Every structure is written in structure tokens, then in C-alpha cells.
Structure 1
Amino acid sequence: MTSTVTVRDYRPADAKAVADLRRAVLPYRLATPRGIAWEVSTAPAAQHLRLCVAQRDGRIVGAVQAGVLHDAAVPGQAAVSLQVHPGHRGLGVGHALLASAEDHLFAAGADRIFAWAADEPGTPAFARRHGYRRARPAHYLRLDLTSCGLPPLPSALPSGVRLHTGADFEADPRLLYAADAEVSADEPGEVTLDALAYEDWLLHVWEHPTLDPDLTSVVTVDGEIASFALAATDGDTRYSSAMTGTRRAFRGRGLAGLAKACSLHRARDAGCTEAFTHNDAGNTAMLAVNRAFGYRPYAAAWRYVRERAAD
């Protein structure tokens, strides 16, 4: 007899189980109990964040996070992130979780929902059944820090160029926020995240428990932030690129590569053994930088979109 699946709202005591689930389903994404608890407890009201879990036989076997993209200038956009444990698929868990998330988002005023999904058998059919069309591809890459040959850092930097850690900006990270906002607005994709207020960025990016200021690298040119590589870790051996980019006026000079090289060297020295990154397939410049470092394909994903007007 098939056991009953129960969907309910997340509780603080669920943080570890949700983190374990995310690591099992998405091994290329950082997931820690502290990070999950932080995201839920600090979510701004405008995001309408809701995290639901699915229980089966008393065990959490699925989870879905849903929220309005309040940091996008275009209103009515939202995102869902759905995970179902591989051993519990085909039992209606994903359907029940997704229905709960969509009801919540539509009630919050969303008319377009985005979701990233791993390129796995069964995913396209599941998406079609639920009204989602496949849009853009993306790549998850992995770098083995124990065996890769990272390029050496230059013995001397060009005139006016300096390397910093993120910790150098902890007293006032506003300039780093401005650089991140400019770079994020240029990222390829259907959604342009160009309306994130400084206070939200400070709380949900800079103060996020997984962000590591000491491993974050910032390149300045004549005292002005030109490029940066935000670094996140799980507090153990896994490193992830949170954002790497160069401001428009400084592109084409190899500064993103310099920032990332410095960050990766620090990560390896700190005991990290593997590094992950995620790039939209249209971000050819950053894909080239990552492959030059030795990152190799680890998983493929697709962006899926559901338009409420098409229902």
C-alpha cells in the first residue's frame, strides 16, 4: 500500500532535513541548515517567500521554495525551486509540492513563474504536464582543487591595479553592492535582476551565512572597483562562485580571471577541495574563463517558464 504524502509549511526544525535533501538532489549547489534557516527568517515581505516540505512515512522527501522576484523591475515574475528525493519520485510528491507553490505565487500576484530543473529523464514530461515550457539552458561546472593546476598569480600587477579581499570592504560594502548590481543587470537570461535595494543585498547576499569575505576577491583600478569574485562555502570543503564579473568600463582586460584566480588560490589554501560554478549557456565569456581554469561540465539544467495567461 502506498503511504500518504503530506505537504506542510517549513518549520525551523526542518533545516537540516531540507539541506540534506537539497544536497542529495543538487550536489552542485551549496546547502547548509544555517543558510536555509537564514533565507527563510530574513526573507523580505515583498518576496512572499514560502518553503513547503513533503513528508512520507515521517520523513521529508521533497521540498519546494517559492517567491516573487522582488529584485526585478518587471512586476509579476516569480520563481520556484523544487526537489524530490530520487527514491520517492513517481508518487505524486512533486505534483503536490508544485501545486502548493503555484497557488501561493498566483495569490501573491505572479503571472509568470520560472524554475531551473536538472536535465534528467522525466523532467521534460513532468514540466509539460504542469504547463511549463523549456527556455534557456545552463551549465554547472566543477573544479577539483586537489589536482588542478591553477594559474600562478602575477608577481607584479599593472600600474593602478590592486587586489583585495572582500573583508577589506566589510566596514562599508556599498561600492561592492553597486558593482554587483551593474554586473547582475548584464547577465543573460529572461529575468533581469536590476531592482535589488542595498538593504536587501546587504542582508541576503553580503551577510548570507555561506558568503566568505576572506575568500572573496576584489580588483580595483586607480582605487575604483573594477572586478570581483564573490565566494561562498559550506564551511567545510566545498566552494561555490556566488558571482564573478567586471564592470562595463573595465571589461576586456582579464580582470575577472584575476579576481577568480586569487579567490580560488585562497580557497585551496583554506582547505577547499572542490569548486562549483553555474553559468547560463549564453554567458560565453564567463564559460571561457571557467574552462581555462580547468572547470569541467558536471550537470546540465534548463530554465522552464509557466505563463499564467496561457493556462
Structure 2
Amino acid sequence: MTLIVRDLRPDAPADLEGFARVRHLALPFILATAESLAHDLLHMHPDAHYRPLVAVADGEVIGTAQVHLARESSEPGQGSINVYVHPGRRRLGAGDLLVRAAEEHLAAHGARRLLSWVLEEPGNRAFAERHGYRASRSAHFLRLDLAGGALPPRQDPPPGVELRTGADFADDPRPLFLLDAETMADEPSDVDAQFTDYEAWLAETWRHPLFSPALTSVALVDGRPAAFSAARTDGGTRYGTVMTGTARDFRGRGLAKLAKNDSLHRARAAGCTEAFTGNDTGNGPMIAINTWFGYEICATEVRHVRELA
């Protein structure tokens, strides 16, 4: 067997499809398509030094790594490495080679602290620890059966509140950028995120092929976007909410729940049968909202950290 690690090639359909296949097998709770991977590779901000890698054995993609700097963080030098190997092709050395190549790339671009999400399984945890990573915070993946489960009924917005879709902001999405930036800044995480680059947000979020403006719901208070639930879909039956949040001045009024309920109903009407989301284990309010909708925890991942000399 010949095993090599190299860059993902955006002009190679077999590369993109193989990357998406491995990601789906190893992490079925995250939406990924060949088109979305190509978009990320071509449109990620240059300062992120984004470098997706593939491990290839005898012409078959058996491992993947998504590697970049956290350029939105106020603390420079933080790198991200997320490695996934085909469940049936483990213990062949692909993970080791991917980690080594990823670490060398990030170190060359000034990374001093490396962070990696690791599924909460003994083998995965042992792999991370063997490479010098220590466990930090954790997060849950949650799944909701949209085909067979019962959603809470649609709710009429209270006086002064209006429900719209992301598509209604097609001519000027800046108000959603500002709302996304404010809510993201308050997300519990090892790495703070400060969205200040509107053009980068347009390229990486608004124009992302998985993003669905039609299934994204926005609650407006007196005409101002106050809460939203941002939706992605793989173009088939799988749907995910990647951010649900409320502006600070409007919290405690149930607006995030209102927006997410509207988005879930839209998704089911559009033919989606599975809904996925993720929550930091310390985000009690959002976990409570998702439990109210009927989401169930389907997996847990643990962030692991390695400090470089």
C-alpha cells in the first residue's frame, strides 16, 4: 500500500467527492458536499492560510484534515486542525501523517496554539493525547427527526415582531452580518470570534453553497433584525442550523425560539427529513431550546489544545 498526504485539489472531482465521503462517514452530523469544499478552498480569506489536506492510499481518499488560522480571533497565532479518517481505514498511519503536515503548515505561519475537535471516543481521545493535545471544553451534536417527529406548532409573533426569511435581505444582507457578528461574539468557545470584515462574511457565509436564505428565519422588532436562525442544507433532505441567536438588547423574549421554530417548519415543508445542530456543553439556554424542539444528543466532541514552543 502506498500512502501519501497532499493538498486537496479544487479542480479534481475525485478529491472533492472523496473528502466529502470521508467527512460524512466519520462525522455524519456536519453537512459537507464537493461543491461546498471547493467553495471553502477558493474563497476562504488569505489570512486564514486555509489548507485542506487528503490522505490517499492507492488512489483512494481515506483521510482528511481542515487546517487554518483563526483569523477572526483577537489573539493571534491560534490554529485549527480537524482530522478525520475513513472508519474502515484507520490504523494505517493516515491520521499521523495528516497531523504532522497540518502542524508544520500552521507553525510556518506563526501558530503558537493548536486546537482540534475530537469525537468523544476512547480511540480518538488517545490519538489526540499521543500527539500532545490536552482536553479542553466539549460540545454536543444534536439531531431532530423532521420526517417522523412532531414540531411545536407555529407561533404568531407578538406585537411589534415580524418574521422574515434571509432571502428578504438579498439586496442588502449587512443587517444580518451585524446580527451574526454580535451573537457570535457571545458564543462560548476557546477562541473568540470578531466578525469585522463584511466582504469576507459575504464570501464565506452568505454566498456559501450550503447556506439557505429561504430556510433562514429572522425576527424583526420594529423593523430591526433582533434574532435569527441561520440554515444550511445539502440540497437533499439534510438541514442544519449553524447559528441561532439574539441581539443583546432583545434577549429573554423568546425571539430565538420563535425564529428557529419558523425555520424548522420551513425546512420540513421543503422536504428536509433530518435536522442537525451543535451546542457547547456550557450553553444551557440553547440546549434547553433545542431539547424543547425535540432534538436529541447524538454525539459529543471535545476540543483538544496543544501549545507550541
Cα offsets for 1:22-48 (capped at 9, x unmatched): 101101000101000000011211010
Deviation at 1:64? 0.8
Report what 1:302 is aligned to: 302
TM-score, reference length from structure 2: 0.97
Does the 8 Å contact 1:73/1:195 carry over to 2? no
Give unmatched runs, 5+ long, in structure 2: none
Report what 1:6 is aligned to: 4
Alignment of 1:180-191 (within 5 A): 180-191=180-191
Report what 1:261 is aligned to: 261
Report what 1:227 is aligned to: 227
d(CA) in 2 for partners of 1:7, 1:196: 34
1:302 partner SS: strand
Q: Give the counterpart letter for 1:55 in structure 2.
A: V
Segment drifting more, 116-125 vs 169-178: 116-125
Cα offsets for 1:232-272 (capped at 9, x unmatched): 00000000011100011101111000000000000000000
Q: Give the counterpart letter for 1:97 in structure 2.
A: L
Deviation at 1:4? 2.6
TM-score, reference length from structure 1: 0.97
d(CA) in 2 for partners of 1:103, 1:122: 24
Alignment of 1:144-223 (within 5 A): 144-154=145-155, 156-223=156-223
Deviation at 1:10? 1.1
Is 1:141 aligned with 2:142?
yes
Report what 1:96 is aligned to: 97
1:117 partner SS: strand
Does the 8 Å contact 1:70/1:196 carry over to 2? no
Q: Give the counterpart letter for 1:176 in structure 2.
A: L
d(CA) in 1 for partners of 2:6, 2:73: 28
2:122 partner SS: coil
d(CA) in 1 for partners of 2:195, 2:133: 26
d(CA) in 2 for partners of 1:168, 1:139: 31
d(CA) in 1 for partners of 2:86, 2:68: 22
Deviation at 1:195? 4.0
Segment drifting more, 170-179 vs 85-94: 85-94
Does the 8 Å contact 1:70/1:195 carry over to 2? no
Alignment of 1:53-132 (within 5 A): 53-132=54-133
Does the 8 Å contact 1:141/1:298 carry over to 2? yes
d(CA) in 2 for partners of 1:89, 1:15: 20
Deviation at 1:189? 1.4
% identity of equivalent residues: 51
Segment drifting more, 102-111 vs 82-91: 82-91
2:240 partner SS: strand
Does the 8 Å contact 2:20/2:34 carry over to 1? yes
Deviation at 1:196? 4.1
1:122 partner SS: helix
Q: Give the counterpart letter for 1:118 in structure 2.
A: L
Does the 8 Å contact 2:29/2:141 carry over to 1? yes
d(CA) in 2 for partners of 1:98, 1:111: 15
Does the 8 Å contact 2:211/2:231 carry over to 1? yes
Report what 2:35 is aligned to: 34
4+ aligned runs moved over 4 Å, structure 1: none
Give unmatched runs, 5+ long, in structure 1: none
Cα offsets for 1:52-107 (capped at 9, x unmatched): 11111221100111101111111111111111111111121100001000000000
Segment drifting more, 4-13 vs 15-24: 4-13
Deviation at 1:153? 1.2
Cα offsets for 1:179-226 (capped at 9, x unmatched): 000000000111111144111111101110000000000000011111
